Structure 1
């Protein structure tokens, strides 16, 4: 019953609904005691030949009235109890979603998307069952069981009642043993379902790659294997689950045999009437549901316990990046001073960044270049406070970035990552994601700035075109330009382009950079790129190599150094010259 203690906060919130629901359950339980009693009295009256017509009509009226009241009561207790368990589902899903939205990228490296989705669906549904069906079975089994047993003992015969209850301890013991095993197996079943969920999500997201490599059959075979594993563990759960009903049926059968045997003996002795034995038997029928409910209760509780443990594991994961006490809740602006001695990812031993020191003046442009894996994106992640555990300081407008609230800092930054994510909605809604109230005129102005307006007008529905999941219907260059427009729509103090122009041609890139320079003259920009033409105009360019600054300066200064930057620039110019067919005008 640990889970009921864990969910105590919710039952306190919804105590009115649960009190009404349980009260109605108790009323219905009392009404259920009426029919067996009237049946027994009728049989005795017939046996003694004392039954009158008026008496029969009265008893029939009582039975009909009890049935109508029970019908109405059942409707309202369902509204109260099952209505409340849906509120629990909503609260838990919202709590989980809010928690996940605060977690760092490292958290999402350790937990797969499909696994998180399984927690938000299957696990929460299992917990919901505890607050709905679980409460019903718990209260109904206690209320019905206790009132029926008390009625049997008081109104018929206490000796026969004790005899009928002799097998009950076996049911309690058996349910306890099966319940513990069910908890472990259901935990395994939920884990396997999480794996299958993750496999499904990954396969659908990567369907283009799978088809390109012709691996459909292999992917199907892998999916089949995982579904067989899920079925296997769920069959083990079902085997245990299936043992509850037969166990209860056997125990109930033994109770009936004992009741009929000893009931007949008491009738022969004259201490009971036939009508009383019939009434007792009918009361015993009423005990079948509480016994079954007791078995269902163990099942629901063990499933709920397993799922609640899994959900708590997620909810107890600490936030890696949190607001400090008294943090400044305002958008920073001004110079950016970077002085990071060392940064190591949580799951690694060697530093990824070392001795990164530079200052970017407000309104200036910083270019970051270097080989793949040199640490360029990591540097940007530290600036956006995706990680806080590093040696050194990063200051924005003279304040450590930790002094700002996470929300305040990030609202000042427009970030365009390497892997652009577009939502499955219209082009317009994707662009104004950060500012839904912005006008269509402003949306088009931003789209023209990043040279995507003409592309959009050629779409079938223009700005109302639905781009599909992750922008599947768009080219790489279109996705990049829409992502840049989405960042610019917020007019951020700091714009970060993390290799965000790699999929556009050189002429379009030049036009976009020119527009950004004209329209963001008083704003700060950081451009991380592999194509060095993207950073030619930058006020400062740093070359990152193995997590350290290998070269720094303006484009002209770095060319004069004749180091890695100059070599790469010449190589890229030569590639462009060759691609243009040797046209010297095109290479200039």
Structure 2
């Protein structure tokens, strides 16, 4: 029953509607007492030979009124209880989704996508059943069972009732024993479902890699193994679950045996009439649902309890990136002053950055270059506030970025990563994702700046072309240019390109950079790149190695210095000439 206590906050909030539902259940149970008693009276009347047309019509009228009243009462409790259960699922779903959007990158590194999806679907459905079916099973078993039991005692015979319910305590013993085991088993079942969900999500997302490496059979074998494991875990849940109904049926059968034997004896000695015995049997039949409801109740509660604990474990996770509710709510403008003394990723003692200090005056461009894993993307992640646990400060417009409200800071930054994510929608909607109210002319202007306009014009559906899931219908270069167009549409104060030109050719790269230089003379740009031609025109270039700045200067200054930058630039120039020669040959 602890799940009812855990959901107490919601029941207190919606107590009026639940009270209406409980009243509907009570009315249904009270009216339900009438038909068996009417049938008993009818049997006795027939047995005494006193049945007349007027008596029959009166009894039929009473049954009709009872049926109509029960219909209205059932509509009342169904609307109230099931409606509130659906509302609870909506509240928790919104809370969980909002929590996902507010959590930091560390949270999503800890939890897999499939697991998070399982919490938002399977677990929430189990909790919803507690607020709907659980309330119904609990209240109805108490109300229907209680009113029926009172009717059996007061309208028929208390001795017969006492004898008939002797087997009932066995149900409570069984429910307590199996309920504990089901709670553990169902928690394991939900965890297995999460793992299977994650496996399916990963396989579908990575299908191109799987097919490209010819690993379809191996992946299928792994999936089948996880399915088999999940089925075995669920079989244990089903075995425990299946013990409820047979045990309940046995208890009811024992009650019927006792009723027929002892009730027959009471009829023969004149203690009760045969009509009363018929009514009693009908009342006993009405006790079948409350007893089954008790078995279903423990199942529902244990499943909901396990799911609620899993969801609360997620909701109790705190983001390390805190949004300052009293922070600056104006969009940042001006110089970027980056001064990070040290930064390490969570659960990693090794420093990812050390003594990174540079300034980017408004309207200037800074380039970040270095080997793979040198720390370029880490520098950018701190500006994007994906992590806040660093020593030092990052100021934007003279104010520490931690002192801005996130809703003010983030819209001022246009970020284009190397691995571009596109939504399963049209080209138009992907470009204007951050500005849904953007006009078609503004969308086209952004496409021109990213050198994608001509290619879109050549597509049969133009801007209405569907890009497919994660942009699968577009090439890598097209996806990157579409992402650049999306970032440029919001005209950000700071544009960050994180190796966002790696999939385009040299000519397209030059065209995009020229467009950026012309359009963003008063805006700040940071370009991280592996290909050094992307940063040649930057006002300052930082060479990163091992999380530190090892060289800095303009392109000409770095070339004159003769360090890593010059060596890499000449190597890339040579590679370009070799490729060009082969193409001409």
Q: Under a length normalisation based on structure 2, what TM-score does the superposition of the two structures give? A: 0.98
Taking the aligned partners of 2:179 and 2:391, their CA distance within structure 1 comes to: 51
Counterpart secondary structure, 1:323: coil
Taking the aligned partners of 1:582 and 1:357, their CA distance within structure 2 comes to: 43
The Cα of 1:106 is off from its aligned counterpart by 1.2
Counterpart secondary structure, 1:496: strand
Q: Does 1:115 align with 2:115?
A: yes
Matches for 1:318-397 after TM superposition, within 5 Å: 318-397=318-397
Taking the aligned partners of 1:153 and 1:538, their CA distance within structure 2 comes to: 92
Taking the aligned partners of 1:445 and 1:275, their CA distance within structure 2 comes to: 87
Q: Does 1:415 align with 2:409?
A: no
Q: After TM superposition, which residue ranges in structure 1, 4 or more long, deviate above 6 angstroms?
A: none
Matches for 1:277-316 after TM superposition, within 5 Å: 277-316=277-316
Unmatched 5+ residue regions in structure 1?
Answer: none
Aligned to 2:60: 60
Taking the aligned partners of 1:461 and 1:236, their CA distance within structure 2 comes to: 53
What is the RMSD of the two structures over their aligned residues, measured on CA atoms?
A: 1.3
Aligned to 2:198: 198
Of the structure 1 ranges 10-19 and 251-260, higher mean CA displacement relative to structure 2 is found in 10-19
Counterpart secondary structure, 1:328: coil
Taking the aligned partners of 1:325 and 1:289, their CA distance within structure 2 comes to: 53
The Cα of 1:12 is off from its aligned counterpart by 3.0
Aligned to 1:72: 72
The Cα of 1:293 is off from its aligned counterpart by 0.5
The Cα of 1:362 is off from its aligned counterpart by 1.2
Aligned to 2:99: 99
Q: Is the 8 A contact 2:93 2:124 kept in 1?
A: yes
Aligned to 1:501: 501
Aligned to 1:561: 561
Q: Is the 8 A contact 2:325 2:405 kept in 1?
A: no
Matches for 1:419-430 after TM superposition, within 5 Å: 419-430=419-430
Of the structure 1 ranges 269-278 and 129-138, higher mean CA displacement relative to structure 2 is found in 269-278
Matches for 1:88-167 after TM superposition, within 5 Å: 88-167=88-167
Deviations 1:98-119 (A, max 9, x none): 0000111111111110111111
Of the structure 1 ranges 483-492 and 149-158, higher mean CA displacement relative to structure 2 is found in 149-158
How many residues are treated as equivalent by the alignment? 584
The Cα of 1:9 is off from its aligned counterpart by 2.5
Of the structure 1 ranges 91-100 and 61-70, higher mean CA displacement relative to structure 2 is found in 61-70
Aligned to 1:442: 442
Matches for 1:478-497 after TM superposition, within 5 Å: 478-497=478-497
Q: Does 1:243 align with 2:243?
A: yes
Taking the aligned partners of 1:330 and 1:4, their CA distance within structure 2 comes to: 44
Aligned to 1:168: 168
Unmatched 5+ residue regions in structure 2?
Answer: none
Taking the aligned partners of 2:11 and 2:490, their CA distance within structure 1 comes to: 43
Deviations 1:171-212 (A, max 9, x none): 101011111111111111111111111111111111111111
Aligned to 1:24: 24
Taking the aligned partners of 2:430 and 2:285, their CA distance within structure 1 comes to: 62
The Cα of 1:304 is off from its aligned counterpart by 0.3
Taking the aligned partners of 1:48 and 1:377, their CA distance within structure 2 comes to: 95
Taking the aligned partners of 2:167 and 2:110, their CA distance within structure 1 comes to: 50
Deviations 1:85-140 (A, max 9, x none): 11111111111100000111111111110111111110000011011111111111
Deviations 1:319-338 (A, max 9, x none): 22112352111111111111
Taking the aligned partners of 2:434 and 2:29, their CA distance within structure 1 comes to: 56
Taking the aligned partners of 1:325 and 1:434, their CA distance within structure 2 comes to: 23
The Cα of 1:214 is off from its aligned counterpart by 1.1
Q: Is the 8 A contact 2:529 2:535 kept in 1?
A: yes
Taking the aligned partners of 1:457 and 1:10, their CA distance within structure 2 comes to: 54
Counterpart secondary structure, 1:541: strand
Counterpart secondary structure, 1:359: strand
Taking the aligned partners of 2:325 and 2:525, their CA distance within structure 1 comes to: 30
The Cα of 1:582 is off from its aligned counterpart by 7.5
Deviations 1:53-105 (A, max 9, x none): 21122112211221222223323322222122111111111111000001111
The Cα of 1:285 is off from its aligned counterpart by 0.8
Aligned to 2:264: 264
